[in-house]
Structure 1
Amino acid sequence: MQKKMIKKIRKRDTKGLDYVINNYSKKVYYLVDKIIGFYGREEVEECVSDVFYELWENIDQFDEKRGEFSSFIYMKTKYKALDYKRRLEKKEVHKTELEDDITNKITTEHIVLDKESSEEIIEIINNFKEPDKTYFYNRYFMYYKVDDIAVMYKTTRASVENRLYRCRLKIKEMLEGRK
């Protein structure tokens, strides 16, 4: 039955794909859920769909001499789910960085906008010691990413973040002290 089903898929007969979905979807779903279930049901279902679509599109990659069809499906599933996981992790990291960045900018910009003159801010920044002044300038005026600043100055991301945090605190303290 399995050989007939593979032939049907190769001939683009959807009955072959229906057979595969009916017989393998539970295990495919289970494997995908184990790998990316943390990201939500919607992501899992999308990945499962992509597994079967890829199977449909790349059925010619299956070689009976190299192994069982079930192994072929499960390997496709594993690699597709891992691709999804990498993409979702990258998306999460970017989202978190963006949220942190927006929060920091809003707080800093709020202080800047609340004050009568930005000259006070520039004076405070100009009094920062190096490399704080350079880091702050690159981050908030040139809009460099923290990772890029760390690479440029051969330091760690944590070091840059800590220095920027202390700079923002100094600005806030000095501006609040002048009220």
Structure 2
Amino acid sequence: MTDNELRLLMADSVQKCHRAVFDKYCNYVYAIAFRILKSCGSREDVEECVSDVFMKIYKLLDKNIDFADNFKAYIATVTRNTAIDSFRRISLRNSRTAYLDDNTLGELRDSSDLTEKSENKEQSRIILGKIKELGDPDSTIIIQQYYYNRTAKEISKSVSMSAAAVQKRSSRARQKLRSLLTEAGITKEGLI
């Protein structure tokens, strides 16, 4: 989309321009935001980041800023910067110390519960490490499928594959992941 096309759309209707920009770049923005936030955020965090990106872009479109015919690069930069800010905010939120109430203190007193939570956290860290070892696009497919509950059709849009190819890659990636987890000593049935 060139500057001239944007200006013509803006002259016709601001809503049409915003809609055209959203329709054309939504998947692109989502893919960039997901790539940056996949290790710390939820699907809702990624969607909130995408919304923030489009709000920033719409504000700039309304100001008639000259994008020097490189609108896609500008969108990528805004998305990357917004996603990095979100990453920092989410990471900070996830690492903050929570206020302790009586219920929390009771949970902390039970050392077996703490041991189990610690083991689960370590196991989750190992599983995510093994998923990353699969490489892209397999790791992205598995994460979107199991952590974000996305369907093959939804995933296919973000990884530029057909839904059938996503299902096939998912099946092969799960088999490979099972063997990687078995080598790491994680053998729970029904895990993947």
Instruction: Point out the structure with the larger helix share.
Output: 1
- With normalisation by structure 1, the TM-score equals 0.50
Q: Which has the higher contact order (CA 8 A, sep 6+)?
A: 2
Q: Output the TM-score relative to the length of structure 2.
A: 0.46
Question: Greater Rg, structure 1 or structure 2?
Answer: 1
